[in-house]
Amino acid sequence: MNKTVEVLPDRSALVARSLELILSKLETAIEQRGRFTIALAGGSTPKPLYEAIAAEKLPWDKIHVFWGDERYVPPEHPDSNELMTRQAWLDRVDIPAANIHAIPTLEGDPAASAAKYEQHLQEFFNSRPGEFPSLDVVLLGIGDDAHTASLFPHTEALKVRDRLITVGNKDGNPRITFTYPFINSARSVIFLVTGANKRPALAQIFAPVADELTYPSRLIQPQGELWWLLDAEAGSEL
């Protein structure tokens, strides 16, 4: 693993740097493999980045968008990560509908939805059960409790090592999430973190020793590159 930590002066510098990094990964991926695959984070932090990506002129037909986690709500629900991304980015550009690989949430059974998304990923990557395909970029955030994607402290999802997708649990509410081994198979994992409220979580994530079940972001140790892009409010005490 190749780990890089960058502390940017403010949120707009973080957006500019993350955009630059993603565009460089995109260029390499398209040059080498003819397409770029990215899994997106939800929450509030990445929204300005998605707006910045939408303003770029890009080969949209070669870009495939997935999500690392989703709330178990219909796609038009205000809490939906897909809805936020469509409004900030995907509805503003000419990306083919077939390149938007949203997490299904209408099955009425989160386990069935997780299995359906896993099957979709296996078909897309032409991989077999038990294999972990590599996305070019997995974008992640962290919560104040050090969760990432929908891998919450002391939940069953943290024990799943043989699947790409599983069911997360946020205070008793189901979510659909990438498993940590699938995240770790990415070519590049990029964390975006802003705000002083994330400092205590970051201190535990970066500590030499701490419990991974209590601080799930510690489980993210990709085989490829690991990037931590922090604004000064979040990263000043590291």
The correct pick among 18, 150, 169, 217 for binding ligand LXAUTJHC (CB under 6 A) is 150
Does 45 bind ligand LXAUTJHC (CB under 6 A)? Our answer is yes
Does 110 bind ligand LXAUTJHC (CB under 6 A)? Our answer is no
CB 230 to ligand LXAUTJHC: min, Å: 12
Burial level of 91, CB count in 10 A (0-12/13-18/19+)? exposed
Instruction: Report the candidate in 168, 70, 186, 177 with the shortest Cα–Cα distance to residue 132.
Output: 186
Give the amino acid at 100: I
Phi, psi of 80 (to 5 degrees): -70, 130
Residue closer to ligand LXAUTJHC by CB (options 62, 206) is 206
Give the torsion sign (CA, 21, 24, 28, 29): positive
Nearest to ligand LXAUTJHC by Cβ — which residue? 43
CB 30 to ligand LXAUTJHC: min, Å: 25
User: According to CB under 6 A, which residues from 46 to 75 bind ligand LXAUTJHC?
Assistant: 69
CB 151 to ligand LXAUTJHC: min, Å: 10
Give dist(CA 147, CA 90) in Å, integer: 26
Q: Roughly what angle, to the nearest 10 degrees, separates helices 47-54 and 81-88?
A: 40
Instruction: Tell me the CA end-to-end span of the chain in Å, nearest whole number.
Output: 20
Burial profile 136-149: b = 16 or more Cβ within 10 angstroms, e = fewer: bbbbbbbbebbbbb
The correct pick among 42, 216, 222, 235 for binding ligand LXAUTJHC (CB under 6 A) is 42
CB 88 to ligand LXAUTJHC: min, Å: 13
Does 188 bind ligand LXAUTJHC (CB under 6 A)? Our answer is no
Does 4 bind ligand LXAUTJHC (CB under 6 A)? Our answer is no
Does 217 bind ligand LXAUTJHC (CB under 6 A)? Our answer is no
Residue closer to ligand LXAUTJHC by CB (options 35, 47) is 47
Find all residues with CB under 8 Å of 114, minimum gap 6, and list them.
Answer: 163, 165, 166, 167, 176
Instruction: Report the candidate in 155, 153, 154, 151 with the shortest Cα–Cα distance to residue 165.
Output: 151
Does 18 bind ligand LXAUTJHC (CB under 6 A)? Our answer is no
Does 173 bind ligand LXAUTJHC (CB under 6 A)? Our answer is no
Which residues form the interface with ligand LXAUTJHC (CB under 6 A)?
41-45, 69, 81, 140-141, 143, 149-150
